[in-house]
Structure 1
Amino acid sequence: MTEPRIPRRLCRVLVVDDEPAMREVLQARIERWGFPVRTAESVHAARVLTGSFDPHLVISDLVLPDATGLALLEHLRGDRRDRTILMITAYGTIDMAVQAIKGGATDFLTKPLDYVALHRFITDMEGRLQAKLSSDADQREVNVAGMAGMDGMVGTSHALLRMQARVRSAASSDAPVLIVGESGSGKELVARSLHQLSGARAPGPFVPVNAAAIPEALAEGELFGVERGAFTGATSARMGLFEHANGGTLFLDEITEMPIALQAKLLRVLEDGNIRRVGARAQIRCDVRLIAATNRDPAAAVELGHMRQDLLYRLDVLRIDVPPLRERKEDLPALAAHFLRDCAERYAAPAPTIEPDALALLHGHDWPGNIRELRNVIERAFTRADQGMIRAAQLDLDGSGLDLGVEVPRGIVLPHGVTAAEAERIVILETLKITGNNKAEAARRLGLDVKTVRNKLKTFDSEGSSP
């Protein structure tokens, strides 16, 4: 009697077993029951996979090649206390299974497996997840005000949690805030979160401006506005950014790049809350909370003459340091999944999952461009996803179009001292020769999108590189 097919369910299942046949059988059955399932052959592979797949249920053999299932159990229980773990054991290791129960496993099954019992176990768990989902939805309605504004800060690392606590604390004040962090680390996201969590000010405008992008000759008018007739061409009065932000928040990014003369005028506004348009005599009262940001060390910027010390004193009432991505790499799986879901929503396509080898490559990168760099890498990988999965071969970490971590097909020899661009050209053209100029097959072997291969060939043609 065949089991009926059912729709895809909530419960994600990870199978950990070193026997390929067992993994294949379990995966086939669990998928037929309608549950998302992934497999791992070792404790190490399971640890990596849990970061991206985030299983609700782990079905693990007790004896694995690199450690015991008990070692895996310890890791999984420490990572997520509500994760359910079902151990598989032979009759000779039932004592170990009892130890596993004491260590936090929910239950164990003996080999050969009773698949009817396993199906019932997973189905019962699906029911509990559905009930919890409904309960959580009700709780989210109760807590929505307290959680607003923090959704964009993805991850659970200690560095991120410390920063989130600082943001919540600073949001309750109306004092100026100085955000310090490397380029691409998410300083504007922090500023937006501060605004959205600021109570009565949150419904007001959030006005972001990059101080480094405003020409010095226009900076004062941009910030404070212009009166009609103030100079040639000023045919009408114009509000500045402070007036546009009235009742809300003005975010000045790269504050240390603002002209020193303008910094003095900004200091006066911070002191009394009044602005004067260029060419005007009267002052205008503005109710604005100022948040500034810089990717420099503020003290060093003062020493180098890029920032007035008195302005730093006035801005540095509340400081929030944004950790670089290299200091919160444990957030990489969650961040990558977040960006993939965002891509999926924008392109109306299913979100792929990230394979362990791809996650390992992400963890090994230093991320000098921080969150912005990761988002770009994930978006490029999204376009190359193969059968709903992203492998290391699809990750273009340097933006060259072909990641150097891609395995070079056999028979292709790269000359000594070859550049990345030359290596890319050689690998693509030689792979096409091997595949009889079959672009789809060449793209598959290289882990690239067919469209990418075609575009590369057009580039090679224009450079006279294509045969």
Structure 2
Amino acid sequence: MKRSILIVDDEKNIRSGLAMAMELDGYETLTAEDGSAAWALMGKKDVDLVITDLRMPNLSGGELLKRISSAYPRLPVIILTGHGTIETAVEAMRGGAIDFFTKPVDLDRLSLVVKKALSTTDLYAEHEKLKAEVAALKARNRYDRIVGKSQKMVMLMDTVAQVAPTRASVLITGESGVGKELVADAIHELSTRSKGPFIKVHCAALSESLLESELFGHEKGSFTGATAQKKGRFELADGGTIFLDEIGEINAATQVKLLRVLQERSFERVGGEKSLTVDVRVVCATNKDLLKEIEKGAFREDLYYRLNVVHLDVPPLRDRKDDIPLLMTSFLTQFTQENNKTIEGFSNAAKKALLAYEWPGNIRELRNCIESSVVLSRSSMIELDDLPPSVGRSDRSAQLSFDVGITLQEAEKQLIISTLVMCGGNKTKAADVLGIGRKTLHRKLQEYQIDEE
């Protein structure tokens, strides 16, 4: 559907000239001779952008701007002014106008400003749509901390909902940063044990000597430094769930004791003789290939099959790129609130770079990237330069080099040709990339005798 532009000026020639220029750019136009007529027209017609003169009878452009800013805060307004009223135009910019032009109007520049303004409006609208989609997904899912609509994530969460109410042990696999701990959280929260304890143990963070004591507890005097009896994580998890992250890191002795807990639901504290019985559901996670660890003799095969009653594999972010816009929006909402900033979306360049990047660190890396960008952003949009260099460079692969000594005209000609090739011959897109109007590009093509094919 064509975008509609309202042109307001008390001089008929200016109104009709601007309308003709905007129509050549593919827009529908409405015209009004003063602010009062424009305001009445806006009550009847949908308008996507307003171009208005400042000095007009009945209702001035400044007063019209105030009404628009109050009633339609997202509607972009461009101010036209004579040379004698530039200070007033600058004041109008402070009042909400996106730009101002002195008469006679530079149509090429106006074309670019209009295009950018409407593109920004589209980005805001897209961001609001994604926010609504994220909210709808969270409302629909019983566990709302995992955001995703890709087929792989829908299938994963369906399986989580099916498995959660059972007693089965679950092994969660996937690369670092994919969100394995969130899947474990969902299993506990959706289970019949959700009101019981949920104890997390990061096995790789504990030394071999400490891990057994942390898991099963110890008696007073059982080793140097054991000054009192201590309950282990399995005792603390009785009636609930224990999550063993990085299960592939546990040593052989602890593997034997863990196998016994899974088989018999009982164990002894380190240095103790009394057997303790617990009712604990075990959920584990690893980024290792445990079958390869078994082949190397580093992991017990019998323990693997006890843990792997249900196997959930969390896909890497590069395999679920449909979810990236939703995740970007969710993290942006979170971090703008946490940092008291007003950022309302991502520029096209930033969004393109975020979608092009492969995310070796998965969701954890994306989350950190968005948080960093929010903190560093100085505008109402996340721009390409706000992204970390490793991410921002992912969409900057096209390069062009010139030999020293060529003329400025020859360099410009090569740049235009290369940009047209990069844009697949799309002149509107090429003009946008080059920062010139479409009419200017056509003039340059004729001037340099560039074959448009």
TM over 0.5: yes
Gaps of 5+ in 2: 1-24, 30-46, 53-64, 77-113, 397-401, 403-453
Aligned residue number for residue 346 of structure 2: 354
Aligned residue number for residue 244 of structure 2: 252
Partner residue of 2:220 out of 228, 250, 268: 228
Say if 2:124 and 2:345, in contact at 8 Å, map to a contact too.
no
Deviation at 1:296, TM superposition (A): 1.6
Aligned residue number for residue 460 of structure 1: none
Deviations 1:356-415 (A, max 9, x none): 22111011000000000001100110012232110112111538xxx54799xxxxx9xx
Please say if 1:188 is aligned against 2:188: no
Say if 2:197 and 2:239, in contact at 8 Å, map to a contact too.
yes
One-letter amino acid of the counterpart of residue 194, structure 1 = I
Please say if 1:275 is aligned against 2:267: yes
Residues 367 and 361 (structure 1), Cα distance of their counterparts in 2 relative to 1, 3 Å cut: same
Residues 299 and 361 (structure 1), Cα distance of their counterparts in 2 relative to 1, 3 Å cut: same
Say if 1:392 and 1:406, in contact at 8 Å, map to a contact too.
no
Residues 282 and 327 (structure 1), Cα distance of their counterparts in 2 relative to 1, 3 Å cut: same
Aligned residue number for residue 124 of structure 1: none
Aligned residue number for residue 25 of structure 1: 50
Aligned residue number for residue 5 of structure 1: none
Deviations 1:155-214 (A, max 9, x none): 211111111101101102111000011000000000001100002x10112111111111
1-structure distance, mates of 2:120, 2:343:
21
1-structure distance, mates of 2:315, 2:353:
21
Partner residue of 2:127 out of 33, 36, 52: 52
2-structure distance, mates of 1:384, 1:20:
38
Deviations 1:294-313 (A, max 9, x none): 11222222212232111111
Say if 1:179 and 1:293, in contact at 8 Å, map to a contact too.
yes
Which shifted more, 312-321 or 33-42? 33-42
Q: Match of 2:152, SS?
A: helix
2-structure distance, mates of 1:277, 1:334:
46
Say if 2:353 and 2:395, in contact at 8 Å, map to a contact too.
no
Aligned residue number for residue 321 of structure 1: 313
2-structure distance, mates of 1:255, 1:372:
20
Q: Match of 1:25, SS?
A: strand
Aligned residue number for residue 67 of structure 1: none
> TM (normalized to structure 2)?
0.60
2-structure distance, mates of 1:303, 1:37:
64
Please say if 1:198 is aligned against 2:191: yes
2-structure distance, mates of 1:37, 1:332:
28
RMSD across aligned positions (CA): 3.6
1-structure distance, mates of 2:355, 2:317:
10
For 1:110-259, what aligned pairs fall within 5 Å after superposition? Answer: 147-148=141-142, 150-199=143-192, 201-259=193-251
Aligned residue number for residue 392 of structure 1: 384
Say if 1:185 and 1:370, in contact at 8 Å, map to a contact too.
yes
Deviations 1:206-261 (A, max 9, x none): 11111111101111111000011212321210011111211211110111111122
One-letter amino acid of the counterpart of residue 320, structure 1 = L
Deviation at 1:339, TM superposition (A): 0.9
Which shifted more, 183-192 or 155-164? 155-164
Which shifted more, 224-233 or 374-383? 224-233
Say if 2:48 and 2:118, in contact at 8 Å, map to a contact too.
no
1-structure distance, mates of 2:354, 2:309:
36
2-structure distance, mates of 1:44, 1:156:
26
User: How many residues end up aligned between the 2 structures?
Assistant: 305
Deviations 1:412-458 (A, max 9, x none): x9xxxxxxxxxxxxxxxxxxxxxxxxxxxxxxxxxxxxxxxxxxxxx
For 1:47-126, what aligned pairs fall within 5 Å after superposition? Answer: 52-54=127-129
Residues 338 and 397 (structure 1), Cα distance of their counterparts in 2 relative to 1, 3 Å cut: farther
Partner residue of 2:360 out of 342, 349, 368: 368
One-letter amino acid of the counterpart of residue 129, structure 2 = D
1-structure distance, mates of 2:166, 2:118:
47
One-letter amino acid of the counterpart of residue 33, structure 1 = A
Residues 214 and 394 (structure 1), Cα distance of their counterparts in 2 relative to 1, 3 Å cut: same
Please say if 1:312 is aligned against 2:304: yes
Deviation at 1:351, TM superposition (A): 4.2
2-structure distance, mates of 1:251, 1:317:
15
Deviations 1:3-44 (A, max 9, x none): xxxxxxxxxxxxxx9549885329989765336469978999
